[in-house]
Structure 1
Amino acid sequence: MTHPLIDRLTTEFGWPRLTDSEALQAFVSAPGEHVLFVPGDPARNLETADVAVIAPELRMAFQNRFDCAVVDDDIETEARELGKTYKTPSLLFFREGQPIGAIAKVRDWSDYMDRITRILAAPAAPAVAE
């Protein structure tokens, strides 16, 4: 999963890179709202780099209401199953261990803003990529 824009999320923004099941569960189960960035293969999916650039901007737009982590290749399948979303790249939203929504692929900014506002307002429920 090495790509400079994905690496930037962990080096410049300090997002954790989740590499095993225990770290994944601990991250999504902590109090508050959380987003998992599931990049997929950046060599095969050109949208991955775009979402890697957009995700920190979304976090800032929502005034750091949620924290974010990058899902490592080794647990990508597990994360997608946990969020009930199978497309990549994906942003998977959780509240205290429960999926509350997901956004797959690149979207228009206004679409992100609308969808994230609705996701954060929703009660915990199974995630469905929009």
Structure 2
Amino acid sequence: MTHPLIDRLVTEFSWPNLASAHDVTEFTARPGVHVLFVPGDPKRNLETADVAVILPELKQAFQGRFDCAVVDDAIEQQVREDTRVLKTPSLIFYRDGQMIGGIPRVRDWDEYMARITQILAQTATCEIADA
């Protein structure tokens, strides 16, 4: 992590920094809904900092219905390929070890609220918001 707003998620909010495939599996396999924040390169993509600020607000708006972690640079490419959510920054949702949806790039608040509500209602199928 090379941006203070991303670092803040790990230091201030105590979100896990997932640095290996094992970390991802362990985090997403827990009961409940989990969101992986895949930041991308904050120097090349100005949306990364925006999503780093928006995600804690979304977590609060959904009253803890999901927890969050940050995907480390070391495994970011693999996570993107495995989930087919290729654009960054992205939010990738899991329930009980299964991916249930993804939201690439920054969105407006209303779209986040609608898409996350849809994703949280998902069972086994997976939805990825249009890029």
Q: Above 0.5 in TM-score?
A: yes
Task: Structure 2: state its 5+ residue gaps.
Answer: none
Letter in 2 for 1:99: M
Contact 2:115-2:129 within 8 A present in 1 as well: no
Q: State the partner residue of 1:48.
A: 48
Q: State the partner residue of 1:68.
A: 68
State how many pairs are aligned: 130
Residue pairs, 1:1-130, within 5 angstroms: 1-130=1-130
Alignment deviations for residues 15-56 of structure 1 (CA, whole Å, 9 cap, x no partner) = 000001111110111111000000000000000000000000
What TM-score do you get using the length of structure 2 for normalisation? Answer: 0.95
Letter in 2 for 1:50: D
Any idea what SS the aligned residue of 1:93 has?
A: strand
> Sequence identity, in percent?
64
What TM-score do you get using the length of structure 1 for normalisation? Answer: 0.96
Moved over 4 A (4+): none
Alignment root-mean-square deviation, CA: 1.0
Alignment deviations for residues 93-129 of structure 1 (CA, whole Å, 9 cap, x no partner) = 0001111111111111000000000000011223423
Task: Structure 1: state its 5+ residue gaps.
Answer: none
